[in-house]
Amino acid sequence: MTRKDEWRAAFDASPKRTADFDTMSGVPVEPVYGPDDGEFPGQWPYTRGPYASMYRSKLWTMRMFAGFGTPEDTNARFKEILRSGGDGLSTAFDLPTLMGRDSDDPRSLGEVGKAGVAIDTLADMEDLFAGIDLGQVSTSMTINSPAAILLAMYVAVGEKAGVPRAAMSGTLQNDILKEYQAQKEYIFPPRPSMRIVTDVIRFTAEEMPRWHPVSISGYHIREAGSTAAQELAFTVANGFAYVEAAMAAGLDVDTFAPRLSFFFNAHTDFFEEIGKYRAARRIWARWLRDRYGAKKERSMQLRFHTQTAGVSLTAQQPEINIARVAIQALAGALGGTQSLHTDSYDEALALPTEKAARIALRTQQIVAHETGATSVADPLGGSWFVEAMTDEMERQAEAVFAHLDELGRGSILEGVYAGIDNGYFQGEIAEASYQFEKKITDGRRVVVGVNRFTEWEDPPPPILSIGPEVEERQLKRLEQIKHDRSDEAVRTALDAVTATARQSDANLMPAILDAARAYATVGEVIGALEAVFGRWTEDPII
């Protein structure tokens, strides 16, 4: 039996979408192309895709990122996304929430609801998902340091609505390592932060089989200025670190690895991006099997979400960002993504308006239904250029892994810790960012509307404005919740969080869930953990 015969058996056993798989001229399109003895989708090492049928069975999830103002504001946007054909929600939180601070913290002044939705207590989470069936919709939450707290609130909302944990599906970003490397939204030192991540992995493995406990994110590494190869290498290395941490905590790799997911950027260098995605699958499959002893196919099949490159959007001539986003979205689709967010054309100016967000979703729908890109699995596989880019991305990534392995004396996890401590990641990203910007300044890299073709400029489009009344409403809401809740229940729950944090072998999630049910605030739970873990301050890199 040839490899193509094996693929055909898996393909025939897969469900199929109801669609016309032929060209506009009526030419039938095969589900895959390649020599009989070559690699095929759904076969190890999954370079060509994790599933035999890919988009012939199911399109990627069109998961639009949204969040602004109060929970009621974002709830309305969520419902508009679902009405417009989106089939997954992705939640953006405001800066105070991301940093584990409440809306009434003095340091939150002027930031409440600005960059995402403000969440202080379980009451806010209840309002955020009011009228949305958590047993039917898949939800992603882009949150890291306070991720366990927001997951607890989400679970508590489901409990009140009668949705069992096992029925909930979605993704928690919960990728703390990249915070030290790029995004800087850390609270606790790296090691206790990894303990929280591992506790979430254990909790979801036991209680929430449809939930992805970590979305290992290269997106923010790329947005900070890394190259595509650095994004690939640092992200996958972080994935290895999470695997090692979970295994060190006593978990078998095949009990949690199938629910790990990744989150990559889709930038404008079209073929390099596709090579990056293909290399990521191949590397993950080999390392999980050969280094970490995974036996299940699902453990070795890297699955990922993609977001188009926010950093590529221009405030100049913003409407042409629609073209950039379409090309980036097509790269994600041709690279085999499992879910996709398309940025709105006005995001270089402000949070997206409803109209701009709808255009961004329609862009995905055009790629999915009009281009023919979803008829064939890995349609660019076998291209000399794409295969060369895949190999080069893999080569550069393996060089980084070797460096981290040496730093960690045989442990990628320890190598990542060392790379954070000595500024390796931060320095590499900063240098790459400098070199890229230098090319733009010198004119060697053309950015349309910025350093070339600048003569056409329309007035800026209408933008979404978040006024001071949003913060006022949120503060009144928080004051009311604090008045109505039981202070004794909150104190008891927070004391339990602190006590559990002192027990290195105890899982923090049950205690955090009790605190959420008592309507403790995000900031209060963070404070209870900080009493044990302390707060991280980054040493300056000279």
* φ, ψ dihedrals at 422, nearest 5°: -95, 5
Joined together, the tokens standing for residue 64 give: 């639009």
- In 3D, which of 241, 328, 213 has the Cα closest to residue 276? 328
Is the distance from CB of 92 to CB of 142 less than 8 angstroms?
A: yes
Of 87-96, 250-259, 455-464, the least confident: 455-464
Is the distance from CB of 373 to CB of 330 less than 8 angstroms?
A: yes
Q: What is the pLDDT of residue 472?
A: 96
User: CA–CA separation, 334 vs 404, rounded Å?
Assistant: 31
Is the distance from CB of 176 to CB of 198 less than 8 angstroms?
A: no
Q: What is the pLDDT of residue 542?
A: 52
pLDDT for 258 beyond 80: yes
Joined together, the tokens standing for residue 478 give: 């928080």
- Domains of the chain in sequence order: 54-442 (3.20.20.240)
For residues 401-408, average pLDDT: 98
Percentage of the chain with pLDDT > 90? 94
Q: For residue 97, which amino acid is it?
A: T
User: CA–CA separation, 122 vs 119, rounded Å?
Assistant: 8
Is the distance from CB of 412 to CB of 405 less than 8 angstroms?
A: yes
Percentage of the chain with pLDDT > 70? 99
Q: What is the pLDDT of residue 31?
A: 96
Q: Is 12 exposed, middle or buried (0-12, 13-18, 19+ CB in 10 A)?
A: exposed
Q: For residue 30, which amino acid is it?
A: E
Q: What is the pLDDT of residue 295?
A: 98
pLDDT for 67 beyond 90: yes
pLDDT for 147 beyond 60: yes
For residues 47-75, average pLDDT: 95
Query: SS3 for 215?
Result: strand
pLDDT for 460 beyond 90: no
pLDDT band of residue 541 (cuts 50, 70, 90) is low
DSSP sequence for 366-387: HHHHHSSTTSSSSTTTT-HHHH
pLDDT band of residue 65 (cuts 50, 70, 90) is confident
Q: What are the b/e assignments for 28-64, b being 16+ CB within 10 Å? A: eeebbebeeebbbbbbebbbbbbbbbbbbeebbbbbb
Q: What is the pLDDT of residue 466?
A: 87
Q: Please provide the average confidence, as pLDDT, over all residues in the chain.
A: 96
Joined together, the tokens standing for residue 293 give: 């002893």
pLDDT band of residue 88 (cuts 50, 70, 90) is confident
User: CA–CA separation, 527 vs 506, rounded Å?
Assistant: 19
- The contacts of residue 353 (CB under 8 Å, 6+ apart) are 344, 346, 461, 462, 463, 464
The CA-atom distances, in angstroms, between 392 and each of 38, 77, 381, 383, 397 are 20, 41, 15, 14, 9
pLDDT band of residue 86 (cuts 50, 70, 90) is confident
Q: What is the pLDDT of residue 463?
A: 85
Joined together, the tokens standing for residue 433 give: 């960012």
For residues 127-140, average pLDDT: 95
When comparing pLDDT for 457 and 373, which is higher?
373
pLDDT band of residue 157 (cuts 50, 70, 90) is very high
DSSP sequence for 332-366: HHHTT-SEEE---TTTTTSSPPHHHHHHHHHHHHH
pLDDT for 198 beyond 70: yes
When comparing pLDDT for 1 and 526, which is higher?
526
* φ, ψ dihedrals at 215, nearest 5°: -110, 100
Other Cβ atoms closer than 10 A to 537? 8
